[in-house]
């Protein structure tokens, strides 16, 4: 059995920033209403010359640099997204070509906002089985291209961006201590987008492709899932919640996170939040948050980190990491 750990990370956010004050001109809302209901103050919007794949490439390059790898070293690229450039081929194929990762296999992972953790768990399986040594996992989203900007229930929530990590084989230990993946397909119609949206040339011009969400039902699912799955994955690692140094929840709604913190008895110092600056980045959310936590020194060598995501499907995913990027 081989061992695996995260050795590199990187993110990319589009240059354009949309503050809540701009949304006030598009829909019946206000900065106070959005902040109170969601905790979001601004979000990044994908540029006309950008796509889900191009943002993934930018984040991937940074992750490779931190890991000290060249694209040719990669065995596999997994791209988690809800907003692929096209239905066929996989957007990961564009990422592989643009990076120059000529030896890497590439495929997309779709599991809603949980997609990047599904992809990350998959990467660990490939490495610990001995099949591969170097894998790039990317979460990238251009979901604002599928947003109805007259629908207050969805347009205030989402943003665009990408985050990436490199998972490498090593000879010492695996930093993932436990994981949980799950799905309840009976709720699949509570949150969905009928068509692709990651590239502007897809010509999304009518409501048939807009994101649809039953906000109250998804909120109820998210609150319960975040708490339950966090408890389960920590127990699976043989730990207690009090042992955890940092919880990185899916960045969906401030009220969901606060409710979970209260139930789990976690202080703000033990929870990472960047929702206020980015909104819900869907499958990119966990990757961008993990990258920022590392960049800001919120995670130190040996720290125990819990990642929890939930989203369309209805899906959920979680893992416990003992942070050791120098392994």
Catalytic residue among 113, 155, 197, 291: 113
pTM of the model: 0.92
Band the pLDDT of 215: cuts 50, 70, 90.
Answer: low
Collapsing DSSP to helix, strand or coil, 9 comes out as strand
Catalytic residue among 155, 250, 253, 291: 250
Least confident of 13-22, 97-106, 115-124, 139-148: 139-148
3-state secondary structure 106-123: EEEECECECHHHHHHHHH
To the query of whether residue 113 is one of the catalytic residues in this protein, the response is yes
Question: Over the stretch 290-315, which tens digit does the pLDDT of each residue have?
Answer: 999 999 999 999 999 999 998 877 88
Tokens representing 37 are 């209901």
Among the CATH numbers 3.40.47.10, 3.40.920.10, 3.40.50.10490, 3.40.50.280, which is that of 1-327?
3.40.47.10
Question: Over the stretch 216-225, which tens digit does the pLDDT of each residue have?
Answer: 777 777 777 8
Query: For residues 256 and 237, which has the higher predicted lDDT (pLDDT)?
Result: 237
Delimit the domains of the chain by residue range. Answer: 1-327
Tokens representing 295 are 């960049």
Q: What was the pLDDT predicted at 222?
A: 74
Q: What was the pLDDT predicted at 244?
A: 94
Q: How far apart are CA 156 and CA 184, in angstroms?
A: 26
Q: What was the pLDDT predicted at 304?
A: 96
Strands across the sheet with 3-12, in order?
3-12, 161-170, 134-141, 76-80, 105-109
Round the average pLDDT of the chain to a whole number and report it. 89
CB 305 within 8 Å of CB 289: no
Q: What was the pLDDT predicted at 209?
A: 66
Q: Is the pLDDT of residue 256 over 80?
A: yes
Band the pLDDT of 37: cuts 50, 70, 90.
Answer: confident
Q: What was the pLDDT predicted at 103?
A: 96
Return the sign of the alpha-carbon dihedral for residues 45, 193, 226, 295. negative
To the query of whether residue 280 is one of the catalytic residues in this protein, the response is yes
Q: Is the pLDDT of residue 278 over 90?
A: yes
Catalytic residue among 82, 134, 280, 291: 280
DSSP 209: G
Q: What was the pLDDT predicted at 315?
A: 86
Q: Is the pLDDT of residue 91 over 90?
A: yes
Q: How far apart are CA 173 and CA 300, in angstroms?
A: 17
Least confident of 71-85, 184-198, 251-265: 184-198
To the query of whether residue 250 is one of the catalytic residues in this protein, the response is yes
């Amino acid at each position: 059995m081989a061992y695996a750990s995260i050795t590199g990370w990187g993110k990319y956010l589009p240059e354009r920033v949309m503050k809540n004050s701009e949304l006030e001109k598009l829909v019946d809302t206000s900065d106070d209403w959005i902040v109170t209901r969601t905790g979001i103050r601004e979000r990044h919007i994908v540029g006309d010359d950008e796509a889900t794949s191009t943002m993934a490439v930018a984040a991937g390059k940074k992750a490779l640099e931190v890991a000290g790898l060249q694209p040719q070293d990669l065995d596999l690229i997994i791209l988690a997204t809800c907003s692929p450039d096209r239905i066929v081929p996989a957007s990961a194929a564009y990422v592989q070509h643009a990076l120059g990762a000529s030896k890497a296999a590439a495929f997309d992972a779709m599991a809603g906002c949980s997609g990047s953790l599904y992809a990350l768990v998959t990467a660990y399986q490939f490495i610990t089985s001995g099949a591969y040594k170097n894998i790039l996992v990317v979460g990238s989203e251009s979901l604002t291209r599928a947003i109805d900007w007259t629908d207050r229930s969805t347009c205030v929530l989402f943003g665009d961006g990408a985050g990436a990590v490199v998972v490498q084989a090593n000879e010492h230990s695996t930093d993932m201590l436990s994981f949980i993946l799950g799905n309840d397909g009976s709720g699949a119609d509570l949150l969905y987008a009928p068509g692709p949206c990651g590239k502007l040339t897809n010509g999304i011009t009518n409501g048939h492709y807009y994101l649809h969400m039953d906000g109250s039902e998804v909120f109820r699912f998210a609150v319960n899932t975040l708490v339950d799955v966090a408890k389960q994955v920590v127990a699976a690692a043989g730990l207690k919640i009090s042992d955890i140094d940092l919880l990185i929840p899916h960045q969906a709604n401030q009220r969901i996170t606060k409710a979970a913190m209260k139930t789990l008895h976690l202080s703000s110092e033990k929870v990472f939040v960047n929702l206020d600056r980015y909104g819900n980045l869907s499958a990119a959310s966990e990757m961008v948050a993990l990258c920022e936590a590392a960049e800001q020194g919120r995670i130190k060598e040996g720290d125990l980190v819990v990642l929890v995501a939930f989203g369309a499907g209805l899906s959920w995913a979680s893992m416990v990491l003992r942070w050791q990027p120098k392994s």
